[in-house]
Structure 1
Amino acid sequence: MKLETEWIRYGDNGEYSGYVARWGGVKEPMPSIIVLQEIWGVDEHIQDVTRRLAQAGYVAFAPDLFARHGVRPEPLRSERVQEAQGVLNTLPQTHWRDLEQRQIALSQLPESKQKLVSDSLDYLFNLNGMMQDFVKQVVMTSGWLRETYEYSLGQSVASVGFCLGGSLSGLLAANDASLKGAVIFYGSAPSAELIPEIQCPILGFYGEHDKRITDEVPAFGEALFLAGKPFDYHIYADAPHAFFNDTRPSFHIDAARDAFARMLTFLQHVLTKDAS
């Protein structure tokens, strides 16, 4: 059998697009996993994760959160985002939101590039204003995989998200009562008022040194416990933010290996019809 991958359009009049991977020789519909991107978009890393999950026996689908009708805003085009990521990779992550430090890093670029990369960075650090649109898209994507897409029709859906996508994975759990499970990799927790709306188990992975995200996890866990919502999480010693991304300097192989194994076990449990 061969793994099939393609970019497809879906939604009303093809408004949305995404990258899908699945086993081509399987005739019956399979459970599906929504793979939710980091701020870098559906880049090679997210496509690789999508293929890895498909190889595990699922329809894996990564919606492009930035594109509408096949077009991204100019500052969020793939090549522009890659250039912005390259600049940020020269800085400690604690300096990413420091405008002065970013300007110093930008000054190392040719003058013709500085304004373009700066515009892309401004976009990437102000995605919160787009979160409602992102939530609408991922909820629609979940329903489309369950109810329309022929290769996952009638099957269970779970989500796996990283950073921005980790936050969206939690938000999807609060907005889609039919979701079977949500995996959060170093994403911000949903707000307290959304906790009662969560209907599925959640699995979280966090880095010890990612203080901005990880420090809020115990309170998130306590709120879920008090609300009777299943939540298991792991904080990896010496691991930073984005420890799972093997294309970044932040990659932490021990944490990534353990998290991948735990994620597959969780997905098998929540997505298999006979899971107890």
Structure 2
Amino acid sequence: MTQPVNETAPIIPQEAFDWYDEYAHGMIDRRTFLKRLGTLVTIGLSMSVLSAALLPNYALAEQVSFNDDAIKASYVTFRSPKGHGEGRGYFVTPKNLDKPLPVVLVIHENRGLNPYVKDVARRLAKAGFVAFAPDALHILGGYPGNDDEGKAMQRSLDKAKIQQDFVAAAEFLKAHALSNGKLGAVGFCFGGYIVNMLAATIPNSLSAGVPFYGTPAAAEIRDNIKSPLMIQLAELDKRVNATWPEYEVSLKKNKVDYQMFMYENANHGFHNDSTGRYDPKNANLAWDRTVNFFQQHLS
């Protein structure tokens, strides 16, 4: 199920999306972001229209209902001795599961486990995978219900411990009784970076990774990467795209099996169907490619 496209919606200038990306990643504060948006306010483009287009509306981000009869969802905890001690995440399987299946770790953006990322986990379960979406904010009580607070909470945590939490989550999922032993990972923005980091940190555990608009792992560990990667990038995402040429050199040098897709006229976050950056055509194509890639490498 995809969201309908509103053909009469006002056209939002590209700089507004660029400013939102800066704001979402902590490069500018909310006051600066809103001040910049104020320069775009015209009779036909009010602040409310701009805010509605840029800020998430998670009511739009449910392509698979949590009540869907084909899946079963719950929350589970796992040990993370090198991270924050304990992690917790959203665990989704096909219903009436009678044999182990490929497992996929789903990694959120820089604001905790929001409804969009939980829906991505449900989509994977509908496609025949066991999906697990950890919440980096578990140690602080979990995703707070709004992105601004979630970003502040995630920034307050030790990044190295967050990374260890996701390493622990990956190993927990791979070893799960419902796992066939083949582990995939998909992540968005910060989560895309974590996929790249996992590929370099646990190369013998990860069987396939799909980072959506994520920056590379640290240069000193990139030579460890072995698993196949599908790199999903947005043409208008200057910040992340600037890191790609150097990363590609490293992947080629190490003979990594990788594919890179650059989605035309797409913004950072184009797969997230809760904001105006959502691009249905590119999002659907990227998702079909993702599912097919996991089916190829995890079955």
Structure 2 residue aligned with 1:227, among 226, 251, 254? 254
Q: Which amino acid aligns with 1:145?
A: L
**Does residue 48 in structure 1 map to residue 48 in structure 2?**
no
8 Å CA contact retained: 2:107, 2:188 = yes
User: Per the alignment, in what secondary structure is the counterpart of residue 261 of structure 2?
Assistant: strand
Amino acid at match of 1:170: N
Secondary structure of the 1:180 match is strand
The ranges of structure 1 where at least 4 consecutive aligned residues each deviate by more than 3 angstroms after the TM superposition are 120-124
* Contact kept? 1:221, 1:231, Cα under 8 Å: no
Gaps of 5+ in 1: 85-116
Do the aligned residues in 1 keep the contact of 2:104 with 2:132 (CA within 8 Å)?
Answer: yes
Equivalent residue for 1:102?
Answer: none
Partner of 2:200: 174
* AA aligned opposite 1:142: A
Match of 1:20 among 91, 97, 104: 91
User: d(CA) in 2 for partners of 1:2 and 1:227?
Assistant: 41
Name the CA shift for 1:27/1:136 in 2 (closer, same or farther; >3 Å).
same
Q: CA deviation at 1:263?
A: 0.6
Match of 2:191 in 1: 165
Percent identity over the alignment?
A: 28
**CA distance in structure 1 between the partners assigned to 2:280 and 2:241 by the alignment:** 19
In the alignment, structure 1 residue 65 sits paired with structure 2 residue 92: no
Give the Cα separation in 1 of the matches to 2:265 and 2:92: 33
| Residue of 154, 159, 170 corresponding to 1:131 | 159
CA distance in structure 2 between the partners assigned to 1:10 and 1:26 by the alignment:
21
- Deviation digits for residues 60-88 of structure 1 (CA, Å, limit 9, x no counterpart): 000111112xx43xxx7422x34x2xxxx
Deviates more, 1:14-23 or 1:207-216: 14-23
Per residue, is there more helix in 1 or in 2? 1
Whether the 8 Å CA contact 2:183–2:207 is kept in 1: the answer is: yes
Paired residue for 1:207? 234
- Corresponding position of 1:7: 75
Q: Secondary structure at the match of 1:189?
A: coil
1:189 paired residue number: 216
Corresponding residue pairs, total: 227
- With normalisation by structure 1, the TM-score equals 0.77
Deviation, 1:151, is 1.8
1:121 Cα shift? 5.2
State the distance in 1 between where 2:214 and 2:158 align. Answer: 16
SS in 2 for 1:32: strand
Label 1:56 to 1:7 Cα distance change in 2 as closer, same or farther (>3 A). same
